A and B are shown apart, each in its own frame.
Chain A
Amino acid sequence: MLVEVRNVTYTYNEGLPFETTALEDVSFSLRPGCFSALIGHTGSGKSTLLQILCGLIEPGAGSVLADGTDLYEKTGAALAARRRIGMVFQYPEHQLFGETVLADVCFGPKNLGLSDDECRERAFESLRLVGLDPDEKAGISPFSLSGGERRRAAIAGVLAMRPELLILDEPAAGLDPKGCGEMSALMRSLNEEGTGILLVSHDMDEVAALAKQVLVLNGGRVAMEGTCEEVFSRGGELARMGLSLPAPAAFMSAMAQRGYPTEGVALTARQAARKLSALFGKRGGNGV
């Protein structure tokens, strides 16, 4: 689904002495099946923007259109559009409440008005997607799962609604390296099957490895927008916004400062190695 954000502004505690303008005149669009990343320094308005995107807080000015329908109209069409956007909040495991994992994952589909059988079917499917064995885990209490498993169960609860656009707010925060890897793999496979993804992350390596488009927020405004290459080739500006480069790109720019400049930007270790071997005129033994 095509989501367009038009001139959105949002102010917390409007009219009070401690009001904060979290977003100012933000415009961009997300194409169907996109994989976009939203990055920005802490407090730059990322979480606020996500909540506006999935229809939870009405912007003070501007509008959000999903396939042309304004999300904040008071119509059935707007409600239906909101339900096609899924949101995985920061620490989604804090939203678990069901007596069993199955009951919890079924909550979303039930709210969509699906039959019990269909809810169950979707729940099993999404539990498998997130790597929880439904036969083993569906019947137990979500509170007896481990921290990482709880997060997966909560994400399954969102996936069971089969969103066309999935928004994730730092889904890998606090996971172990294996969990992070599996999270990335899950997002990639969902995207390959056609789900649009908007990811908020502080991990630039994750962003560089996954996203096709990057949107940079700074002080509530869109500071940059473009492909990973375009955005990460502006390391100086990013640094001024308190953001870093992916490790390979940072390494290449340190090399450049020592007098070994290379063309373009390296997003992965592989790309960096290729550029370095070209620079030093040696061909890698195993064809890097």
Chain B
Amino acid sequence: MAVRDITIGQYFPADSPLHRLDARTKILGTVLYIVSLFCAHSFSALAAAAVMFAVCAALSRVPFGFMSRGLRPVLVIIAFTMVLNAAFTAGGAVLVTLGPVRITSGGVRRAVFMAVRLVLMIFGSSLLTLTTKPLALTDGLEKLFSPFSKLGLPAHELAMMMGIALRFIPTLMEETDKIMKAQTARGASFGTGGPISRAKSLLPLLVPLFVSAFRIASDLAMAMESRCYRGGEGRTRMNAASLGRRDLAAAVILAAYMAVVLMINGSPLA
């Protein structure tokens, strides 16, 4: 079934330079990468971003098929924004006229540009969760937030919440899959008929799913409390992560990449 194929937030076990980087480096790197995508205003700058992604993806040793399989559902959203962009952007020569809607060359250009940017953003950020264990990710977030905890930001709690949310994605997918199968065995069919009957057919899936989510959450809370979890105060790590030479190298590469994007943007080449 298709639900299981959604791999957003999933970790892919492998031994690669990207896996071995500190989580903080990868988080900041991902943020920087997303910023660079928003800075890019030309196709050539996007091409640089695509090259950067391709290099990282190759380094990560995550099979491209696995990455793209999980992101297939997002394609719907991308297709939708493409249509909107193509239809509602004016400028350039008129290519097709469909009633009141005029599709212009500028519109098509913009639609393609936005789609490429979105795809790179989603694939780029999926690399973070694919190469970082949820626990390492949580720790990294917590460390990054911790300077703000003096200002009253609950760094540990925020990081813990994000970590649990990430951890729950596959669990809920599994649960969805199970319930879907159970209802299918009772003759249910999902996603057929008109919009109202479609929405109605989701009820036998959503109600048990919510009940399960609450059950799993309360089990988790119980398990944490019975192991004396009391929040972040005074908690230490068994395996403290540390930044190494590898992270320094990554930082240099990222800085160089950012500079290249900005340069291409500003150059007449664009």
* Interface members, chain B 43-59 (any A CB < 8 Å): none
Which B residues lie within 8 Å of A92 (CB)? 182
Q: Is the CB of B187 within 8 A of A56?
A: no
Q: Is the CB of A89 within 8 A of B182?
A: yes
Q: Is the CB of B204 within 8 A of A94?
A: no
B178 touches which of A16, A89, A143, A158 (Cβ 8 Å): A89
Q: How far is the CA of A143 from the CA of B208 in the complex (A)?
A: 10
At the interface, yes or no: A120 with Cβ under 8 Å from chain B? no
Q: Which residues in B have some Cβ–Cβ distance to A below 8 Å?
A: 1, 13-14, 63, 65-66, 178-179, 181-189, 203-208, 211-212
Q: Is the CB of B184 within 8 A of A94?
A: no
Q: How far is the CA of A131 from the CA of B92 in the complex (A)?
A: 74
The chain A residue with its CB closest to the CB of B14 is A17
At the interface, yes or no: A21 with Cβ under 8 Å from chain B? no
A89 touches which of B1, B181, B204, B206 (Cβ 8 Å): B181
* Interface members, chain A 1-54 (any B CB < 8 Å): 15-18, 51, 54
Please give 17 more A-B residue pairs, beta carbons under 8 A apart, in addition to A56-B184, A96-B211, A97-B208: A16-B66, A17-B63, A18-B13, A56-B185, A57-B1, A92-B182, A95-B179, A95-B186, A96-B208, A97-B203, A97-B207, A107-B183, A107-B186, A107-B204, A112-B187, A157-B186, A158-B185
Q: Is the CB of B181 within 8 A of A83?
A: no
B211 touches which of A18, A89, A143 (Cβ 8 Å): A143
Which B residues lie within 8 Å of A16 (CB)? 63, 66
* Interface members, chain A 127-173 (any B CB < 8 Å): 143, 157-158, 161
Give, as a whole number of angstroms, the nearest-CB distance from B68 to chain A. Answer: 13
Which B residues lie within 8 Å of A18 (CB)? 13
Q: How far is the CA of A16 from the CA of B205 in the complex (A)?
A: 29
Q: Is the interface of B mostly helix, strand, loop or mixed?
A: helix
Known: A89-B181, A97-B208. A111 touches B66 (CB 8 A): no
Q: Which residues in A have some Cβ–Cβ distance to B below 8 Å?
A: 15-18, 51, 54, 56-57, 83, 86-87, 89, 92, 94-97, 107-108, 111-112, 143, 157-158, 161
Give, as a whole number of angstroms, the nearest-CB distance from B20 to chain A. Answer: 18
Q: How far is the CA of A96 from the CA of B207 in the complex (A)?
A: 8
A selection of 25 A-B contacts at a CB cut-off of 8 Å is A17-B63, A56-B185, A86-B185, A89-B178, A89-B181, A92-B182, A94-B178, A94-B211, A95-B204, A96-B211, A97-B203, A97-B204, A97-B205, A97-B206, A97-B208, A107-B183, A107-B187, A107-B188, A108-B187, A111-B186, A111-B189, A112-B187, A143-B211, A158-B186, A161-B187
Which A residues lie within 8 Å of B187 (CB)? 83, 107-108, 111-112, 161
Q: Is the CB of A54 within 8 A of B13?
A: no
Q: Which of B14, B182, B204, B205 has the most CB of A within 10 A?
A: B182
Give, as a whole number of angstroms, the nearest-CB distance from A268 to chain B. Answer: 33
Give, as a whole number of angstroms, the nearest-CB distance from B223 to chain A. Answer: 18
Q: Which of B13, B186, B207, B212 has the most CB of A within 10 A?
A: B186
Q: Which of A56, A87, A95, A96 has the most CB of B within 10 A?
A: A95
The chain A residue with its CB closest to the CB of B184 is A56
The chain A residue with its CB closest to the CB of B69 is A16
Q: How far is the CA of A54 from the CA of B186 in the complex (A)?
A: 11
